[in-house]
Structure 1
Amino acid sequence: MLGIYALVLGVGYGAQALAETIGGRESFPGGILSIAVLLVISATYLMGAKSLVAGRREGLSFLMGGLFLSGAVGGLYLLMTGADWLMYLLGEVEDFALLSEISPATVLLIVALPLVPMMRKMTRGMAW
């Protein structure tokens, strides 16, 4: 099940990178660097999915790394959304549309959050 979940997340991050490359809605400021970050996260999840689907536990490290990267990138964009909301409350900007402010990285972070209890269960008692 973890392998399939990692595959879905890897494809999700890859699809977002492809959408940014094709020139869809510019949701990430940063251009080529944001596409590179999305591709790194996608590759991390996909490498984990490859070994987890095969039944090997080596993929747990890739899955954990992808989860940390998702948390870092999605958390930063969540903080940026909060900062924009605060600017609206302070009267610095005229409008705040929540749906246009939320980035796909934040949505993918929310999708990745159920991995946390699964990873705790899988790594409990593991010798580090």
Structure 2
Amino acid sequence: MIKLKRLSDQPILLPKKEHPWEATAVFNCAAIYDNDLVHMIYRATDISPNGKEGPYINRLGYAVSKDGIYFNRLEQPILLNNVEQEARGPEDPRIVKIDDTFYMMYTGYGGRFPECLTKIILLLAKR
């Protein structure tokens, strides 16, 4: 049995006010360990779902860590809501590696098509 210990009462990632696409919340991440790095794809929102202003669009961000505690993230989202099934954005990513290919499953929040699948290449850490 694996016993886990919480290192802090604080989250690993917090919203970044200077990035409007993730200014309110970051949550529901997927993480995978590969080549001595922890790769994280997380869901982020621009405003709260009960907010009075703004479109409330979800986006997926990317962060990378050498130790799984301190993460560096990209300034822009890695997946935008540019197709019909993601009109309100992608949500809740999951990552799996099969052979040498990474696959990401996620929910497309748009009304008609709830599940989405994409093939990803984790080259983002080299940016």
Task: Please give the TM-score of this superposition, normalised by the length of structure 1.
Answer: 0.28
User: Which has the larger helix fraction?
Assistant: 1
| Structure (1 or 2) with the larger CA radius of gyration | 1
User: Which has the larger strand fraction?
Assistant: 2
Task: Please give the TM-score of this superposition, normalised by the length of structure 2.
Answer: 0.28
